[in-house]
Structure 1
Amino acid sequence: MLPKAPGFSLHGKTALITGGGRGIGLAAAAALAQAGARVTLVARSADELERASGQINEEGGQSDFIALDITDSAAVSAAIEAREPYDILVNCAGTNRPKPLVEVTDDDINAIIDLNVKSVFHVSRAVAKGMLRAGNGGSIINVSSQMGHVGSPGRTVYCASKHALEGMTKALAWELGPHAIRVNTVCPTFIETVLTASMFDAPGFRDWVTQRIALGRVGRVEEVMGAIVFLASDASTLVTGSALMLDGGWTAA
């Protein structure tokens, strides 16, 4: 008898997505909902979340939302522990303030590290407690970046934050692996989003980027969706501590 391929269905699963109101976070939430999961969107803006959740529900998905500042550790713990345990977590909230090191302010450092690193600790800790309590395993997907594997001018703090996220992911994979909780990253190249729009407005920047991508173009949010579903589903039950590169070949050079 031939082995049976595992499925990508997420019916019966629940997922929490930070940064879920727009961009890659909303795309991740939509992908998980389309695969059958009930999704909870998290971000600071209630209006943005209400619109995003409404779109998912209008298209046949199941979603709700929590307006939450995930840099607030106590608020994160209270909000997540008040809910039933989640099966899937996507840590997608993030920010960047590209500038030369000598122009980086303490506020820049704090803003990037607080959201890109510390908030991932806050949310992962709260969700992992629920996963461990439920005893059903789970999948934690950290949205990292190709910049978690390389360096780039003008991005010292951002690169530091994403390299930290890669290290955290590997450590958590070992810590949570015995409980059937998998922890991985997805590492996109530059994607057309609200976050990157101002970067692409800079003269010559798009050309600089595309010259470093083997496919010769920047990415679309839709191209991240399949990777999210893969890592959330039974199709990836042997994958943990890994970084799935969605970089168009940037790191292959």
Structure 2
Amino acid sequence: MNIRFDGKRALVTGAGKGIGRDVVKKLVECGAETIALSRTQSDLDSLKQECPSIIPVLCDLADSESISTALKDCGPIDLLVNNAAIAICESFFDANTADFDKTFDINVKATIVVSQIVAKGMIERKAGGSIVNVSSQASLRGLKNHLIYAASKAAVDSVTRTMSLELGPHNIRTNAVNPTVTNTAMAKVGWSDPVKVKAMTSLIPLGRFAEVSEVVSVILFLLSDFSSMVSGSCVPIDGGCVASLGT
């Protein structure tokens, strides 16, 4: 498949690092005019050096009141990737309300607020569009020490399904991707313990973690017209981990 987004405008949140950064690069490569939103100026500066055509937007999505201000001059958007998220990994008894609020503010509330702004513009233009929310394998199975994070990603899945029902009549498709541990720079630090890695990869039939490119490819497919009849789906990118639950 030769995916092209010529003439399309895209917005990617959490664009400074990891999956979001690579999504931005591929969207630019595929011809989309791309808006990169991050809370870290240095990440936007370095991304701008790599991809001079991007439109950088500095915004801390934890502050929901600032989102509309940050996006008000971005113009029409055809493609949206809600990638921004934080992962505070705690056990059941260590979880606290401050971490719950912080996680849900970014992982869930910001996803809703950004999508509302973008989808409203899509509807006003009667142009349709495609939205991809980056969820997690953690929403689909129990994982120790992931209580709040997993709950937030389960909420993202639910938000995705509801969005698909309400936005579908406007020709706006909404899907989610649910990656397993993905080999970003941050994940490599968090999963540096070989014992921990072996315990996790033993649950994955393919026996390894995902590469960033493997997640990005599915996101691009869901954004593209090649997936024109796919909406309301939460797509595991997990090497068969969820499928192996009953074995």
Taking structure 2 as the reference length, what is the TM-score of the superposition? 0.94
**Residue 61 of structure 2 corresponds to which residue in structure 1?**
70
For residues 143 and 24 of structure 1, the distance between their equivalents in structure 2, rounded to whole angstroms, comes to 9
Alignment of 1:20-39 (within 5 A): 20-39=15-34
Which range is displaced more, 13-22 or 93-102? 93-102
Deviations 1:145-190 (A, max 9, x none): 1112111111111111011000000000010001100000011110
Contact kept, 8 Å, 1:95 with 1:195, in 2: the verdict is no
**Residue 44 of structure 1 corresponds to which residue in structure 2?**
39
Contact kept, 8 Å, 1:187 with 1:243, in 2: the verdict is yes
**Residue 131 of structure 2 corresponds to which residue in structure 1?**
140
Aligned match of 1:54 in 46, 49, 74?
49
SS in 2 for 1:152: coil
Aligned match of 1:236 in 227, 231, 236?
227
**Residue 180 of structure 1 corresponds to which residue in structure 2?**
171
Contact kept, 8 Å, 1:148 with 1:166, in 2: the verdict is yes
Match status 1:84 vs 2:75: yes
Number of equivalences? 244
For residues 199 and 225 of structure 1, the distance between their equivalents in structure 2, rounded to whole angstroms, comes to 21
For residues 56 and 18 of structure 1, the distance between their equivalents in structure 2, rounded to whole angstroms, comes to 16
Match status 1:204 vs 2:199: no
Deviation, 1:248, is 0.9
Contact kept, 8 Å, 1:41 with 1:53, in 2: the verdict is no
Aligned match of 2:111 in 109, 114, 120?
120
Once superposed, which parts of structure 1, at least 4 consecutive aligned residues long, lie more than 3 Å away? none
Runs of at least 5 residues in structure 1 that lack an aligned partner in the other structure = 1-5
Task: Please report the RMSD computed on the Cα atoms of aligned residues, expressed in angstroms.
Answer: 1.4
Q: Percent identity?
A: 36
Taking structure 1 as the reference length, what is the TM-score of the superposition? 0.92
SS in 1 for 2:56: strand
Contact kept, 8 Å, 1:138 with 1:181, in 2: the verdict is yes
Aligned match of 1:162 in 145, 149, 153?
153
For residues 34 and 8 of structure 2, the distance between their equivalents in structure 1, rounded to whole angstroms, comes to 9
Contact kept, 8 Å, 1:188 with 1:246, in 2: the verdict is yes
Letter in 1 for 2:75: E
Contact kept, 8 Å, 2:62 with 2:102, in 1: the verdict is no
For residues 101 and 108 of structure 2, the distance between their equivalents in structure 1, rounded to whole angstroms, comes to 10
